[in-house]
Structure 1
Amino acid sequence: MDLEQVDRALATLPGLHPGGPGLAVGVYADGKVLHTAARGVATVEFGVPIDSRTRFDIASISKQFTAACLLLLERDGRLSLSDDVRAHVPELRLGVPVTIDQCLRHTGGLPEWYGLQAVTGVPFHLLDEERLMRIVTGVRRTMFEPGTRFSYSNTGYILAAVVVRRLTGRSLADFARDRLFGPLGMDDTVFRDDASVPLPQMAYGYNGAGARADTLESAVGDGGVVTGVADLAPWLGFLADGRVLGDDVRAALLERTVLADGTVLRYARGICHLSVGDLSAYGHAGGMHGYVGNLLHLPEPGVGVAVLTNHSGLDPVGLSIRLARALTGQDPAPRPAPARPATAEAARAALLGHWHDPASEATVTLGPAADGRISLTGGADFELALGDDGRWHGQADAERVWLVPEHGRLLIGHDGSIRWPDAYEPCEAPVEGPAPEGAWLNDEVGVLAVLEEGVLRVGLTFQAPVTPAPAGTWRAGPFALRLDADGDLLLSGGGLLGLRFAAQPGGTAPVGIPPGLV
C-alpha cells in the first residue's frame, strides 16, 4: 500500500491556503493508525498547525457512537429497540408510536429539529437538551406512518440521547465515556454537550469564506462528538471485527434497515452501507458550522480512511473516496466522457420543464444551456452535461450530482450520499401572481406564520420573500409553501414535510415567544 499517495493528494488539494484552516487524514488497518497527514491550521488567529491529535467536531459521524450506546443498553436488558420511545420519554405528545429503532434508522417520520429551529428562531446557542426538548415535546404529527419511509432526521438521535439519560441517570457524554470511549482507549474523544467549555487541542471552525463558524449548540446524540484522526483507530478496529465492545453490537450496528413494504435500505443504525469502486464499505459523513468530515471502512481489504476538517469549503467525502480507491489499488473514478452534442440535444428535449418531488415538496426546473447542457434551478442552480453512461452529470462544484430519467420520472442523486436518489415527477409551471396573504398558527411549536406584501415571516427571526414555484407551491428561502383545501398553510423543506399552520382570523399578529426560548 503506497501511503505516500495521501501526502501527494493533499499537496494538490484545491481550497487549502497557507495559514488557513485545513484538515487531517487518517489511514487505518487492524485497529491501528498506518498513516496520518495534516494541512492547515487549527486556529487561524494564532497559527496553531493541525496535527493527528487535533480535535474536530465530527457532526453526524457521531450517530454511530450514539447508536452503539443504545445497543449496549439493549444488551444490558435496560431497553428494547422495539420500545415506543414514549415509554421512556412520556412527555412526548406524538400521536402514534415511534420506536427507538425507528429513531436510529430515520424511519420514524419525526420532523427535523433543525427545521423546527429555523421556524421558531430559537438561537442555536440556547438549544441544550432541555430547551430543545421543550420544542420537540410539542410535536404531535409524524410526517408519514412510522416504518414506511426513510427521511433523515436528527430529532430521533436527540431522543436517543434523552433515553440514555432517563434510563441511566447519566448524560450521553458520561455514559459514552465509561462504556464506549474508555474501554476502546479513545481518550481524546468526547461528546461535547456544553459548547461554551473550551477543549484542549480543539480546532476552531471556519466557513468556506474563511470566517469563524464554530459549533454553537450543546444538544448531542445526532452530533456532538469531538475527536482527532489518531484517536479513531480503535473504533475502526471495532468496525472491523467487533473487538472490545462485542461482535453482537457490531452486527446490530451494521444491520440494514427494512421498511414495512420489504424495501431494504443502505442505511443501518447511524452508519450506511456504501460502495467504493468495486469494494463494499460502510461509513458516515458529517457537517456542521465550520466542520465537515467523513469516515469510511472497507471490510474486504480491512482498510479505513477518515478525513476531518475545520473548513466547510472542503469536500471530505470526495477526498476520502479518492484516497480509499487509491489505497486499495483501484483506478480513480473516471468521469464519463461527454456525449455527442447532437445526442445530448435530442436527449434533453424530453427533460425540459418543471419537476416535483412529492416526498419532499421540492421542485426543480430544467432549461436549455449551451453545448447541449441542461440548467437546473430550484434550491441550487447549476448545469449538467450528458455523459456516455446515459446520466446527466453536474458541472463545476456540482460534479457529484447526477440525474437520469426513469419510467417517466426524474431521479436526482448525489455520489457518496447516504440518501436514496430523489424521484421527481412532471408538474405544472408556477402560477404567476401575488402570493396569498394571511396569518397561520402552528400549535405544535407555537409559532405564527404571517404572509404579507410578498414576504413570509415565521417565529422570531425567519423572513424571506415569497415567489411562485412549480406544482402549485410557493418558495420562501429553503421552504416550499402550499395552501390546502381548508386554507391551512403547509410548510416543507429543511427536513420538514407538511408542517401544518392553521388559518387565523384576519389581522392576527405575532404575540409571545416560541416555547424553548425561555
Structure 2
Amino acid sequence: MCISRLKREILLSRGYGWSNIEHTVPNTPQTKYRIGSITKGFTAMAVLQLQEQGLLSVLEPIRNYIPDFPKGDQITIHHLLTHTSGIPDFVKFPDYWTRIMRLPSTLDQTIDLFKNLPLEFIPGERFSYCTSSYILLTKMIERLSKQSYASFLNRYIFGPLKMNDTGVDDGRTIVHNLASGYSVWKEIIHTEHMDMSIPVGGYGLYSTVEDLYRWDQALYTNKLVSYESLQSMFTPHLENYGYGWAVQQLEIGNKYHTCISHYGDINGFCGNILRFVNDNLTVIILSNLNITPVTWIGKNLVRLFFGVPISFPEVTTSIDLNESVVKRIIGIYQIENSERKITITYEGGQLYLSVTKMHGAPFQYPIHPVSVTEDYIQFRTEYIDETLVFNINKTPIQLMYREMDQTHIAFHLS
C-alpha cells in the first residue's frame, strides 16, 4: 500500500490485498497499520518540542531528567536520539520473542529490563540501533510534560496536523479500521501475539498512508517546531542517523539524492517512508504481512519516478528432484559468522526452509527447486523473493542463502 507525492500532488494512493483475510476486508488508503519504528520520528519530534518549551536540552545528561538511571551522567539525550548511548537493546535479548514481548509491562518495568546492565560501549563512541533509548525518551516525555505519551502526541502533533487516524496502540482500545497482522509459517498465518504496553514511543504507533502524508508535509514547515530544530532532526551523525530518521545519499541511476527515511516493523506489520526532500517526492508503504519487501518496493518506485530501469523477480518453474538428493540436503545449516541456523525439512512431499529473522521471529517457507547441475541445486522460496543454492559436492554441503539484499554462506551440520 503506497502513496507518493510530487509538488504537493498525490500521484498514487491505493490499497492492495486484504486488511483482514478471514472476512475479506480490502486494504484502502484509510486502513490503519501498526507502523513499528517509524514511531521513532514522532518521539524525536516530541523531544524537540519539549526543548523549545524550555523543559530540556538534548545536550544535557539524562540524569538531569531520570535521576536514578545508572551512568546517566555519561549519556545525553542526543546519545539516545542518535542510537549512540551504549545502552543494551532489550528487543535483541534472547528471550524477547519467547517471553518479553508477550507480557504486559509498564514503562518502568520495561526500563528495568536494561537499566542495570553494563553499557556496551562508551556513549558517543559508535552507533548501535537501540529501541531501549527511545523507551527512555518516552519516559522523559511523560515526566517532563506531566501527561501520557499518547496525550502529548495527540495535543502537540496529531491534533495540529489533523492526523485523526493516528495514535498509540495500547492493544486493548478498539481501533476502528485497524488491519490484522499476518506472518508466514508454511502458509500465511496470524502473527504472534505482542502485548502493546511494551512498544510505546519505540515502535507503538498506528497510522495510515494518508496521515503519514500529512506528517511528511508538516516536516517541510515550522508548524510543529522551528526550522532550526528541524535541521537538527535531519542532520546525520554516526551511520547517517539523525533524530528518529536515517539521512542518506542514495545513488539512483548515476546521481545521488538526499533521502530521509525510516523503516518500521512490528509483529505482522512492516512499513517504510522515503522522503526525497530535494526532489519533491515521498513514497510511503505500509503492509500487514511482515515479510513484505517494503524497502525494495519503495526504492524501485523511486527508480521508476526518475526513469531508471528496474529488474523484477525472475519467474521460474519448479522441477522434480530425486528423492536421494532431497535426503542429502535436509538438516541443519550453520550460517558463517553468526549464531543463526537454517533448517531444511521435508514434509508431505514439500521442502521447507525454517529460519529466524529480526528480533528472533521464526519463519518457515516452502522452497521449490528451479535449477540442477552436477554440483549445484538452486531453490526459490515461496511468499518472498529469496534463493538458496546448495553445493552438494562439498563436504559438508555448502548453502548460499540470499536473504533480500544479503547473501549468507552456511554449512550442513552432520
TM category (shorter chain) comes to 0.7 to 0.9
Per-residue CA distance 1:30-55 (angstroms, 9 max, x = gap): 45533211111111222211100100
Task: Decide which of 237, 252, 257 is 2:232's aligned counterpart.
Answer: 252
Task: Decide which of 280, 285, 289 is 1:311's aligned counterpart.
Answer: 289
Query: Which residue is equivalent to 1:284?
Result: 262
Mapped to 2, the partners of 1:52 and 1:354 lie a distance apart of 40
Query: Which residue is equivalent to 2:241?
Result: 267
Pairing 1:174–2:174 present: no
Structure 2 letter corresponding to 1:268 = G
Change (3 A) 1:99 1:31: farther
Contact 1:294 1:320 in 2 (8 A): yes
Mapped to 2, the partners of 1:145 and 1:355 lie a distance apart of 28
Change (3 A) 1:50 1:399: closer
Mapped to 2, the partners of 1:171 and 1:383 lie a distance apart of 51
SS of residue paired to 1:173: helix
Query: Which residue is equivalent to 2:273?
Result: 295
Contact 1:29 1:237 in 2 (8 A): no
Structure 2 letter corresponding to 1:217 = M
Contact 1:242 1:248 in 2 (8 A): no
SS of residue paired to 1:232: helix
Task: Decide which of 194, 197, 201 is 1:218's aligned counterpart.
Answer: 197
Task: Decide which of 331, 345, 349 is 2:309's aligned counterpart.
Answer: 331
Mapped to 1, the partners of 2:295 and 2:12 lie a distance apart of 18
SS of residue paired to 1:138: coil
**Matched-pair identity in %:** 23
Contact 2:111 2:132 in 1 (8 A): no
Contact 1:271 1:282 in 2 (8 A): yes
Contact 1:41 1:48 in 2 (8 A): yes
Task: Decide which of 109, 115, 120 is 1:131's aligned counterpart.
Answer: 109
Contact 2:5 2:11 in 1 (8 A): yes
Query: Which residue is equivalent to 1:16?
Result: none
Per-residue CA distance 1:134-190 (angstroms, 9 max, x = gap): 323333x10011100111110000000000011011111111111112112211111
Q: What is the Cα deviation at residue 69 of structure 1?
A: 0.7
Change (3 A) 1:176 1:276: farther
Mapped to 2, the partners of 1:402 and 1:239 lie a distance apart of 36
Per-residue CA distance 1:99-152 (angstroms, 9 max, x = gap): 11111111001111113471793452313423212323333x100111001111
Change (3 A) 1:211 1:73: same
SS of residue paired to 1:63: helix
Runs of at least 5 residues in structure 1 that lack an aligned partner in the other structure: 1-23, 259-264, 336-352, 374-379, 386-393, 404-411, 413-429, 431-466, 469-518
Structure 1 letter corresponding to 2:111 = M
| TM-score normalised by L of structure 1 | 0.59
Structure 2 letter corresponding to 1:298 = F
Change (3 A) 1:148 1:372: farther
Pairing 1:238–2:212 present: no
Change (3 A) 1:48 1:125: farther
Per-residue CA distance 1:290-332 (angstroms, 9 max, x = gap): 0011100112221100110000121111001111111232222
Pairing 1:33–2:10 present: yes
Query: Which residue is equivalent to 2:99?
Result: 121
Structure 1 letter corresponding to 2:213 = A
Q: What is the Cα deviation at residue 242 of structure 1?
A: 4.6
Mapped to 1, the partners of 2:65 and 2:94 lie a distance apart of 24
Contact 1:301 1:328 in 2 (8 A): no
Structure 2 letter corresponding to 1:324 = V
Mapped to 2, the partners of 1:40 and 1:197 lie a distance apart of 25
Contact 1:305 1:320 in 2 (8 A): yes
SS of residue paired to 2:133: helix
Structure 1 letter corresponding to 2:261 = G
SS of residue paired to 1:211: strand
Query: Which residue is equivalent to 1:227?
Result: 207
Mapped to 1, the partners of 2:260 and 2:28 lie a distance apart of 25
Mapped to 2, the partners of 1:166 and 1:323 lie a distance apart of 42
Q: What is the Cα deviation at residue 93 of structure 1?
A: 2.4
Pairing 1:58–2:20 present: no
SS of residue paired to 1:86: helix
Structure 2 letter corresponding to 1:160 = L
Query: Which residue is equivalent to 2:69?
Result: 92
Aligned length: 338
Pairing 1:401–2:403 present: no
Contact 1:31 1:236 in 2 (8 A): no
Pairing 1:196–2:166 present: no
Change (3 A) 1:123 1:294: closer
Structure 2 letter corresponding to 1:203 = A
Mapped to 2, the partners of 1:182 and 1:169 lie a distance apart of 18
Contact 2:387 2:403 in 1 (8 A): no
Contact 2:63 2:73 in 1 (8 A): no
Change (3 A) 1:371 1:41: closer
Pairing 1:112–2:92 present: no
SS of residue paired to 1:306: strand
Change (3 A) 1:354 1:178: closer
Structure 2 letter corresponding to 1:221 = G
Runs of at least 5 residues in structure 2 that lack an aligned partner in the other structure: 314-333, 342-373, 379-385, 392-398
Mapped to 2, the partners of 1:38 and 1:96 lie a distance apart of 48
Mapped to 2, the partners of 1:197 and 1:395 lie a distance apart of 45
Q: What is the Cα deviation at residue 402 of structure 1?
A: 5.4
Contact 1:60 1:286 in 2 (8 A): yes
Contact 1:215 1:289 in 2 (8 A): yes
